[in-house]
Amino acid sequence: MVKTATFEALLESLIEDGDGWLFNLEGKQYRITDRDEVRQIAESHNYIIIY
């Protein structure tokens, strides 16, 4: 299955929590400190990122 996401949509899904951001993808929650980490996480879930 091909999964795609825009980088903007991934960034819009971030929730700021004071120490960084929370990012949820496919039922898994990640705590990140750099917003660019969403790209690596999405790619690890086999997403193709559209910029």
Contact (Cβ atoms closer than 8 angstroms) between residue 49 and residue 39: yes
**Each residue's pLDDT tens digit, 2-46:** 899 999 999 999 999 999 999 999 999 999 999 999 999 999 999
State which residues form the domain around 11. Answer: 3-50
On whether the pTM is more than 0.85, the answer is yes
Q: Phi, psi (5° rounding) for residue 46?
A: 65, 30
Beta strands 15-16 and 3-6 are unpaired
Q: How many domains, the chain?
A: 1
